[in-house]
Every structure is written in structure tokens, then in C-alpha cells.
Amino acid sequence: MNVEDVLEADWDAVGTLRDPVLVIALRGYFDIAGAATGALEWCLDDRTTTVVANIDPDQFFDFTAQRPEVFLDEDNERQIIWPENEFIVARFPDGARDLVVLSGVEPHMNWNIFAECIVQCAQRLRCSVVVTVGANDDSIPHTRTP
């Protein structure tokens, strides 16, 4: 397996970006209470965004541990939502830079190829900075003095 097998991209969908920054927040171990992914969702709210690439989930998830979501839509049709990882571009007309967001779910396996997908997107979109956002808790008893 290589990056070309799992990364689906339309590089021309966004045109030229202005000194883009790649920001990564993935649901999983370092997203306690959804703080990291929620922060990025807030950044994208009310913005026009374009999905430029996504990573095929089949090679990265243990679907017995991370089950797809199944629900009935308003037409009573069954829908399945698979774990996904998307590279989303948001433009900030009044800012000096555009934003590329990797939003999705932390993979269970094949991290090396997953990381290569991130590197390839960052290079292809000419991101000059990559920032990871996370949130963690700690086991500190309430009886300890702060």
C-alpha cells in the first residue's frame, strides 16, 4: 500500500492558496471532550470551504473498534457514515493566509502511510506551517493543592 492507493485528491479544486497553514485535529486519544476538533469546527463555521482531499478509511481503521454510524434519513432510507479524514480549505479574504484543515478520526493502524498522506497534502498545497491541535486530561486528585 502507498499514498496513491488511499489519498483521493482534486488539487485543482482550490486554485492558488495564500501562504496556507495546515491545522490538524483528529478525534481520538488527544481530543478529550471534542475540544480540539470543536475548535477547528468553530474556525470553519460560516466560511465557504472546499474539500480538496480525503483519505480512504479502509486501510486505517479497525471497524470492530470504530464502527460506522448507521441511521435512517428523513426519507426513511438507511445511511452509513464511515470514519473519514478530509483536507478542507478555508479562505480568509481579509487575512494574509488561507487555512487547510485535516479533520477526521485518528487512525488505528498504518500510521506511516497516514502520515505520508499528510506530508504529501502539505507539500502539494504548499503549506508553510503545520499545527496540530489536541486536548488531554490528567489524573490529578481533587484533594491535591493546585
Check residue 138 and give its pLDDT. 79
133-to-25, 126, 128 alpha-carbon distances in Å: 5, 20, 17
Check residue 14 and give its pLDDT. 87
Q: How far apart are CA 94 and CA 87, in angstroms?
A: 22
According to CATH, what is the number of the domain 3-132? 3.40.50.10900
Question: Any idea where the domains of the chain sit in the sequence?
Answer: 3-132
Got the DSSP string for 18-69? SS-EEEEEEESTTBGGGHHHHHHHHHHTTS-EEEEEEE-GGGT--TTTSPPE
Check residue 143 and give its pLDDT. 86
pLDDT by position in tens, the chain (length 146) = 888 889 999 998 888 899 999 999 998 888 888 889 889 888 888 888 999 999 998 889 888 888 889 999 999 999 998 888 999 999 988 889 999 999 999 998 999 999 999 999 999 999 999 999 988 887 777 788 76
